[in-house]
Structure 1
Amino acid sequence: MITVQEKKRIQTEFQDKMDYDELLNCMRCGFCLPSCPTYIESGYDEAHSPRGRIALMKAVVDGDIEPDEDVKRSLDMCLGCRACEPVCPSGVNYGHLLEQARDIIYQNHQLTASTKAIRNIAFKGLFPNQSRMRTMTGLLGFYQRSGLQKAARRTGLMKFLPENLRTMEQVLPEVPSLKQLKNRPDHLPSLVPQKKKVAFFSGCLMDSMFMATNDATMKLLQYAGCEIVIPDSQACCGALHGHSGEKQQAKELAKRNIAAFETSGADYIITNAGGCGAFLTDYDHLLKDDPEWAPRAAAFAVKIKDISSVLSELEFDKLPLELPEQIITYQDSCHLKNVQKTFLEPRQLLQSIAGAQYKEMKDADRCCGSAGIYNIVESEMSMQILDYKMEQVQDTMAKTIVTANPGCLLQMKLGIEREGLADNMRVVHIVDLLLEAYEYARQPVGS
């Protein structure tokens, strides 16, 4: 419950910090409504639409309403997918408003002891510290390989977890050993005549739980003609912090990353996770009020490029790519499409694979319901959104679902498990599929 004193502090900070001109940009036209998953899945509740949330923010600033639990609930229910932004005729930067509002509320609202402890462990203790991320992932790998996982499932211990967490445990990737996690490169040469020098943003989860996908990314870059620099002083991108009301910590992580990459001499900074890439491109906004860091953030942001974009630029789709006959479809990463504006490149790469028939999914760009930790903290709405997504997947008759973000990948694996389709459907990151196609095309005939 938000106390009277907390409401006063929140309202004062809304008036002091919210971008009122941006709030006024919303014309209440409703163009955003058909693009908003929570508006649709809530039964067309205006409080769960972009224009409804903006109206609530403005009403708090104007003093027309108090920042009560209903306001907080509306903002918490938002996926932050930013699908409303490309369709907005006024160009409202909704994502920036949402992050600012959440930050004000969470920094001025006393959380329960358990919630505060969990947030401190995740946002301060775990994600900013790559060595701890690797240790945690190494422990997960031990759990998977030691027989503990099989024992936990066989004895029924998993039944004590909520259903969504039980299923999530089943879809976690097989992770590398702690020794493998610590043996990471900092520089790789091009394997063909060099075309570009790039720096690789390896991320926190991507370079631990999804290390194999990072390795595939670097191989593709080498095959495409890139020399690669991987700064070892880089940190978590800060997206989870920025989206969850921990903006100051996001700024600290941004500064660490800018400093890590600005001496790399790279043409581009490459990402392979849509959510990370989008937040990295927003560093210029995040640090716009800091005279020292604003120009450095702007120089950093313009170099961010998704792996599919650089592969398209370097004409990777002109190389021999082949797979066994199958139907493939693509699930957009919300932030890759809506923030980084990368939409056509992944599709062009997938359509260039011989043997694979590409079928576009209906509403491929509608959020899958993952949204960082949304599928854990807002499980019911997340599963509603996922159920709709899986209906569209099945209509394509695809054997392979391709994604460009780790959260989307796990969410779609969760959907496959929920629908009982694990025996005839898979989900893969686009770089893993492209590497598979590159290497398959080079197999000796008859092998």
Structure 2
Amino acid sequence: MPDANLIQLLDNFDREEILNCMQCGFCLPACPTYRQTGKEAASPRGRIALMKAVVDRQLDVDGEFEDNMYLCLGCRACETACPAGVPYGSLVETARDVVERNKEHAGGRSAVRDFVFAELFVHPDRLDRLAGMLWASQALGLQKLADKTGLINILPRPMREMQTAVNPVASPWQRMKRETVVPPEPAFGRSEGKPLRVGMFKGCIMDVMFFETNQATARVLSKAGCEVVFVEEQACCGALHAHSGEKNGAIELAKRNIEAFEAAGVDLIVNNAGGCGAALKEYHHWFHEDPKWQARAMSFVSKCRDANELLAELPALSFRRELSGVRITYQDSCHLAHGQGVRTQPRHLLQSVPGVEYVEMMEADRCCGSAGIYNITNFDMSMEVLDEKMENVKATRAHVVVTSNPGCLLQMRKGIQRAGAEAQMEAVHIMDLLDRVL
């Protein structure tokens, strides 16, 4: 029999939403892990059935249950396919939260995991120092030396493989030169009224590994007539915590961000990472038992926009260059497409670039296998999903694969390497591309 602590944990499941799953199977062809394995337990329908069995005390919260919950990429393509509107993403987050709290009660927590979630991602200053260390290792050639000498082999295989897709990061001096406020460019600004004051959500890993993409986003928004503010007191969005069963940590990070952007007095909050944006727009769901914070979260959520989404609401950009003869395709970020419903805006932006030949990729909204840190924690499955995706990428014969999420960008770079197509194509974040031609 489950002990009292576990019974209390199981109450966190929304039984009504579990029962809303009709077991119809519409989710099966949309699910990357089901497509790869053909196993019912690796499908959304199967995982929900496992959750129901756990809630009904027919199954234990054991290692097998944990493995099935964590095999899921969390891409939420099943939500788009589901005729009953089952919020699968929140159900699997609850399942992982139950797994982790049960392990904590049993004394089975990993010290490394505790360090990452409790001591690293919640401290922006430590992430800044990590960025400096990464820059130094690149600048001193330590990565190349590790490759040549074989020292790189001390790292786990997923980290060895994925580090080859990481571009040089910004130096500490570049980071220190960042302007807190980027004013609207007069030539592009609004002709009437005050410019929009936009708070830039810079993210954690996004700002470490893609600092220049954040800078490019600010420049693009400036040219669109916005005043862009880098709110210094912000923290990680909490998505990695929420997806990894660390719900309490996610809630604390959400509170810090709500307070920071309230104090900044911005009109809107913009981000350029599909995964972060989906979390930011769902803050109000994290405060069901706290009406005061839920009201503040609702106000925060009402101001959140993906950068593509915001640009679609503003006057058209005026491009100064053209990309003649460049063939471009677009890879949807799962959390931007399925989580936020932002699909047409990035495509319209790309098609508005002079000289571009835009070609739509088959199954562009099918997961690339990145899924936050999935390509580290479930490397083999991640690569299977990626290799399938690359077949569709290669069929486009594109010179540029454009993404709207940092994880997707790294994954597509890795996919291009694995496909031996580095001479034919590159992967680029959409804000970097727009910055090039503005």
TM superposition score normalised by structure 2: 0.94
Cα separation, 2, equivalents of 1:122 and 1:403: 27
Cα separation, 1, equivalents of 2:39 and 2:105: 27
Cα separation, 1, equivalents of 2:219 and 2:400: 22
Aligned alpha-carbon RMSD (Å): 1.9
What's 2:345 paired with?
A: 345
What's 1:370 paired with?
A: 370
Does the 8 A contact of 2:308 with 2:345 survive in 1? yes
Give the residue type in structure 2 aligned to 1:59.
A
What's 2:215 paired with?
A: 215
What's 1:93 paired with?
A: 87
Cα separation, 2, equivalents of 1:112 and 1:411: 35
The equivalent position to 1:177 in structure 2, one of 171, 176, 199, is 171
Please state if 1:27 is matched with 2:22: yes
Cα separation, 2, equivalents of 1:13 and 1:321: 60
Cα separation, 1, equivalents of 2:3 and 2:376: 30
Cα separation, 2, equivalents of 1:432 and 1:325: 18
Give the residue type in structure 1 aligned to 2:8.
E
Does the 8 A contact of 2:6 with 2:102 survive in 1? no
Q: Shift of residue 258 of structure 1?
A: 0.2
Write out per-residue CA displacement over residues 298-317 of structure 1, whole angstroms, 9 at most, x where no aligned residue: 11011110001111111335
The equivalent position to 2:78 in structure 1, one of 78, 81, 84, is 84
Does the 8 A contact of 1:134 with 1:182 survive in 2? no
Write out per-residue CA displacement over residues 289-337 of structure 1, whole angstroms, 9 at most, x where no aligned residue: 1122110001101111000111111133564552142211111100011
The structure-2 alpha-carbon separation of the partners of 1:409 and 1:112, relative to structure 1 and needing over 3 Å to count, comes to farther
Summarize the alignment of residues 35-114 of structure 1 with structure 2, pairs less than 5 Å apart. Answer: 35-42=30-37, 44-110=38-104
Cα separation, 2, equivalents of 1:106 and 1:321: 51
Please state if 1:12 is matched with 2:7: yes
What's 2:248 paired with?
A: 248
Give the residue type in structure 2 aligned to 1:81.
C
Cα separation, 1, equivalents of 2:303 and 2:416: 36
Does the 8 A contact of 2:41 with 2:47 survive in 1? yes
What's 1:143 paired with?
A: 137
Cα separation, 1, equivalents of 2:263 and 2:348: 33
Write out per-residue CA displacement over residues 331-357 of structure 1, whole angstroms, 9 at most, x where no aligned residue: 110001111110000000111112221
Give the residue type in structure 2 aligned to 1:184.
R
The SS at the match of 2:325 is strand
Cα separation, 2, equivalents of 1:112 and 1:66: 14
Cα separation, 1, equivalents of 2:109 and 2:384: 25
Give the residue type in structure 2 aligned to 1:127.
F
Does the 8 A contact of 1:187 with 1:229 survive in 2? yes
Does the 8 A contact of 2:319 with 2:354 survive in 1? no
Does the 8 A contact of 2:98 with 2:245 survive in 1? yes
Cα separation, 1, equivalents of 2:167 and 2:294: 38
Pick which of 143-152 and 18-27 moved more: 143-152
Does the 8 A contact of 1:268 with 1:305 survive in 2? yes
> How many residues of Structure 1 are paired with residues of Structure 2 in the alignment?
432
Does the 8 A contact of 1:32 with 1:51 survive in 2? yes
Does the 8 A contact of 1:11 with 1:63 survive in 2? no
What's 1:437 paired with?
A: 437
Q: Shift of residue 423 of structure 1?
A: 2.1
The SS at the match of 2:326 is strand
The structure-2 alpha-carbon separation of the partners of 1:274 and 1:372, relative to structure 1 and needing over 3 Å to count, comes to same
Summarize the alignment of residues 31-430 of structure 1 with structure 2, pairs less than 5 Å apart. Answer: 31-42=26-37, 44-110=38-104, 116-192=110-186, 193-194=189-190, 195-317=195-317, 319=319, 322-430=322-430
Pick which of 180-189 and 211-220 moved more: 180-189
Cα separation, 2, equivalents of 1:59 and 1:112: 21
Q: Shift of residue 51 of structure 1?
A: 1.1
Cα separation, 2, equivalents of 1:148 and 1:111: 41
Cα separation, 1, equivalents of 2:264 and 2:152: 46
Pick which of 336-345 and 189-198 moved more: 189-198
The SS at the match of 1:322 is coil
Cα separation, 2, equivalents of 1:111 and 1:15: 14
Q: Shift of residue 407 of structure 1?
A: 0.6
Give the residue type in structure 2 aligned to 1:246.
E
Q: Shift of residue 396 of structure 1?
A: 0.4
The structure-2 alpha-carbon separation of the partners of 1:166 and 1:114, relative to structure 1 and needing over 3 Å to count, comes to farther
Pick which of 323-332 and 251-260 moved more: 323-332
The SS at the match of 1:207 is helix
Does the 8 A contact of 1:11 with 1:61 survive in 2? no
Give the residue type in structure 2 aligned to 1:230.
F
Cα separation, 2, equivalents of 1:125 and 1:58: 34
Give the residue type in structure 2 aligned to 1:25.
N
Cα separation, 1, equivalents of 2:19 and 2:148: 57
The structure-2 alpha-carbon separation of the partners of 1:383 and 1:175, relative to structure 1 and needing over 3 Å to count, comes to same
Does the 8 A contact of 1:11 with 1:66 survive in 2? no
Pick which of 226-235 and 384-393 moved more: 226-235
The structure-2 alpha-carbon separation of the partners of 1:168 and 1:31, relative to structure 1 and needing over 3 Å to count, comes to same
